[in-house]
Structures are given as structure tokens and as C-alpha cells.
Copies of this chain bind each other. A is one copy, B any other.
Amino acid sequence: MSGSFCKSLYPFSGEQHRQGLSFQAGDIIRVVQALPGGWWEGERDGVRGWFPSSYVHVLEVRTESNFVFTSYLNLTQSSLNGSGCQSDFDFLSLFNFLFSLSLSLSLSLSFSLSFSINCVTFPTPACMPEQQLLKPNEWSYCDFFWTDKKDPQGNGCVTGFEVLLQKQLKGKQMQKEMAEFIRERIKIEEDYAKNLSKLSQNPLASQEEGTLGEAWAQLKKSLADEAEVHLKFSSKLQSEVEKPFLAFRENFKKDMKRFDHHIADLRKQLVGRYAAVEKARKALADRQKELEVKTQQLEIKLSNKIEEDIKKARRKSTQAGDELMRCVDLYNQSQSKWFEEMVTTSLELERLEVERVEMIRQHLCQYTTLRHETDMFNQSTMEPVDQLLQGVDPARDRELWVRENQTGEIRPVDIEI
């Protein structure tokens, strides 16, 4: 990679490194040393310094000899993207890569123990503490949503928490759509019932008499019975499935808004306090530089004034140091607070989601139960019809009809003279 050029994806202040290279997003940097471990040396505008390799995108790969580096580059490239937002940083892959190489690199440079993305501070890869998941084997929300990610719909960022919130809102939407689907089924059933009921009243073949006529009349009536069954089905669909879906968590949106604002506020506070840290850091650097300058002056020319100046500069330096410590404390407190709230709130969202899935599962089971019932009730509408059909007797029907309609049973006789 040495000799390659790369383009920065995000701004970097360089503060986290004793010899950090600062740049803006979009700057071109010449790669001087591309070491494994996450920190590269580069040169920009004649200035040399170190920066996290994940902050840049290599423009061309000059050396192919080192397969290891190319693989590594591929690993990091996959976690990069071309917006002004830092994507999720594939720390684990880096970590694994380091181990699998078993490189005994003496990382002669000293790096920071951490660096920030969007004012949230993460450990650097080489200095990653042993991190167990808070809830191992549970794939818990509270373990996997620490980093921001690129907003697919634009140039901004989406926090991990916002991803979780979106999931919740989507879940509610799905529930609503399921209720709509059930509503459509209800309409279909009511329509079917109406048609069956109407046909049941149709006088077709109602003049059929006797045992056959009775069986036919019952067959027609059975359509009205079927209609009843389907109406009951649609009515229960409404009360036992649709309604619960619509009613479940009616305060949902309000709650989500509340969570959203709360976490967002904590992030805002974090941004403010991070800025204060940066400002204090710069102020300290300025004060230290002043002290250096003054000390050099003393080496050239001893003077009381310069000694006084040096004392003053030293005092200011100390004060700046204290201020920096104070700002860092405040920042760390803020971040801890945000961390706690993230854990608590994401676990609450997780719980709500489990509840939602359970609720839906239960009520869809209710749907299938109602369908089973309906089919069974429907079958029973055929029983009286079957019975009457069994009793259909052409001889009996003839008797009934002949009794009613005969014209005369005396047979003709011959004329006698």
C-alpha cells in the first residue's frame, strides 16, 4: 500500500495520536506506511502523521505482493462507504485478522486507546478490551446497536437506536395491516353469507311435494344455516382477531416518541460535551506550545521577564490541563448516562417486540381455530338434509299425491242393452 493514495471518508482531528495527521472528509492522502493494527502513516500537504485506516478509501493498490495486506484492505473496504457518515466498523473482523496472521509486529507507534465516531467513543482495535456481550446467546438489542450507520435515504446518519425504533414502528404497521387483511376476509364472508341466504329463499322447485319435497326444502334451508355459520365466523373474526390487533398498544406511538426524544437528547448532550473536550484539548495544546516557545526563548537569552512569562505559561498550561480533565469527566458521565439509557430502553423495545410477536401468534391461532369451528359447524348443516334424503320414498310420495289428486277409482264397464 505504500505509495498508494487514498481519499478520506470522514474528518480526523489527529488529536488522538501523538503524531496524528489531521484532515477533512474528501482529502487525498499519500500512504507512507500501511501497517496492520488499524493505524497508517500518511502525508498530506507536506505534513506527515498517523490516522485510522478505516477513515480512508484506497484509490489504487500499488503493491500486489503482499496478499495479506490486500485481504486486510478488502476487509476494511467492505465496511466503508462513500458518504460523510462513518459506517459500522468491523472491529471483530480486524481483531480476528490480527490473530489469524499471528504477526509479531512491533507496533512502534503509540496510538490512542480510543477514537470517536459521531462523538461516541470506541476502543481502538489494537487496544480492544475483552468485551463479553451483555446478554450472550440472546442476540439482544442491547448488544448490537452501538454504532451509527449510513442513512439509506440520504447523506445523514441513523443511530442504532433509531434502527430499533424503526423496527418497532414497522412491527406496529404490520399488525395494522394484518387487521386490514382480516377485515377483508370478514367482508368476503359477509358477502358469501348474504348470497347463500338469498339463494336459500329462492322458490325454485318449491312445488316439489311429499318426502322429496321435504328433503329439497331442507336442502334449501341448509343454505341459510350455512350463511349463519359464516356470519358467526365473520363476527368472531371481528371481535377475536381484528379488534385485538387494532387495540393492542394504543399508546404505542406516544411511547416511541418519548423514547426517541429521550435518547436523542442524551446524544445531543454528548455532542456538546465532546465539543467541549476538543476545545479544551486544543486550548491545552496551545498553552503547551506557548510554554515551549517561552522555554526556548530562555535558552537563547536569560531574562527575568522571560522567567516570569514561563511561570505564567506553566500556570496557564496547568489550568488548561485541569479544564481538559473536567471536560473529559463531564463527557464520560454523559456517555455513561447515554449507555445506561440505551441498554434499558433497547431492552424495553426488545420486550415489546416479544410481546407483539406473541400476541400476533396467539390471535392467528385464534383465526385457525375459528376456521376449524366454521368447517365443523358447516358440516353439521348437512345432517338434517341427509336424514330427509334417506327418508325419500317414491311410493309414499305417490300415495300422498294420488290421495290428493285422484279423479275417480271406479273403473268403466261395458254398455249393456
Q: Do A121 and B181 touch across chains, with their CB atoms under 8 A apart?
A: no
Residues of B within 8 A of A368 (CB): 219, 382, 385-386, 389
B394 touches A365 (CB 8 A): no
A196-B188, A407-B149 known; A416+B371 contact, CB < 8 A: no
Count of chain copies:
2
Among A247-255, A292-300, A351-359, the stretch in contact with B? A351-359
Is A42 an interface position by the 8 A CB rule? no
Question: A335-B414, A357-B392, A415-B332 given as contacts; is B409 within 8 A of A146 (CB)?
Answer: yes
Asked if A113 CB lies within 8 Å of chain B CBs, one says: yes
Asked if A207 and B409 make an inter-chain contact with CB atoms under 8 angstroms apart, the answer reads no
**Which residues 112-135 of A have a CB within 8 angstroms of B?**
113-114, 116, 120-123, 128-129, 131, 133-134
In contact, B215 and A364 (Cβ under 8 angstroms): yes
A237 to B133: give the CA distance in the assembly, Å.
63
CB atoms of A407 and B331 under 8 A apart: no
- A107 interface contact, C-beta 8 A: no
B382 touches A415 (CB 8 A): no
Q: Are A147 and B335 within 8 A (Cβ)?
A: no
Q: Does A165 contact B (CB under 8 A)?
A: no
A155 CB to nearest B CB, Å:
17
Is A312's beta carbon under 8 Å from chain B?
no
Contacts of A188 in B (CB 8 A): 192, 195-196, 199
Interface pair B409/A144, CB less than 8 Å apart: yes
A181 touches B195 (CB 8 A): no
User: A398 is contacted by which of B128, B139, B397, B413 (Cβ under 8 Å)?
Assistant: B139
Number of chain A residues whose Cβ lies closer than 8 Å to a Cβ of chain B: 110
A23 contacts across to B, CB distance below 8 A? none
Q: Which residues of B contact A113 (CB under 8 A)?
A: 413, 416
* A88 CA / B406 CA spacing, docked (Å): 9
Q: Which of A65-115 contact B (CB under 8 A)?
A: 88-89, 91-92, 113-114
Distance between A107 CB and nearest chain B CB, rounded to angstroms: 18
Candidates B89, B129, B141, B367; contact of A408 at CB < 8 Å = B89
Nearest CB of B to A177, in Å: 4
Residues of B within 8 Å of A378, CB to CB, are: 371, 375
Known: A163-B405, A408-B147, A415-B328. A358 touches B394 (CB 8 A): yes
- Tell whether A205 is near chain B: CB-to-CB under 8 Å: yes
* Residue picked from A141, A184, A331, A411, most chain B C-beta under 10 Å: A411
A-B pairs with beta carbons under 8 Å apart, 25 shown: A91-B410, A116-B415, A141-B398, A143-B409, A144-B408, A144-B409, A146-B407, A146-B408, A146-B410, A149-B408, A159-B407, A163-B407, A174-B207, A184-B199, A188-B195, A188-B196, A212-B360, A335-B414, A353-B394, A353-B398, A354-B398, A357-B394, A364-B389, A371-B382, A375-B378
Report which A residues bind B (CB closer than 8 A). Answer: 88-89, 91-92, 113-114, 116, 120-123, 128-129, 131, 133-134, 138-141, 143-149, 159-160, 163, 167, 170, 174-175, 177-178, 180-181, 184-185, 188, 191-192, 195-196, 199, 202, 204-205, 207-208, 212, 215-216, 219-220, 223, 277, 324-325, 328, 331-332, 335-336, 339, 350, 353-354, 357-358, 360-361, 364-365, 367-368, 371-372, 375-376, 378-379, 381-382, 385-386, 389, 392, 394-395, 397-399, 401-403, 405-417
